[in-house]
Amino acid sequence: MTLLGREKPELPCEVLFSDLEILALNVFEKKTVPET
């Protein structure tokens, strides 16, 4: 994953992560739950 990100930094995160995983990472980083 790290090597792919270095070789192709323009790839969207959806290539490696599901929508739920992206949401979980955002919550972890921002320490808030987004409104749905």
Q: Which domain holds residue 36?
A: 1-36
Question: In this predicted model, what pLDDT tens digit does every residue of 10-30 receive, in sequence order?
Answer: 999 999 999 999 999 999 999
Number of structural domains found in the chain: 1
- pTM for this entry: 0.65
List CB contacts of 7: < 8 A, sequence separation 6 or more. Answer: none
Q: Return contacts of 18-26, CB within 8 angstroms, 24+ apart.
A: none
Which pLDDT score, from 0 to 100, does residue 7 have? Answer: 95
Please state the separation of Cα 32 from the chain's center in Å: 16
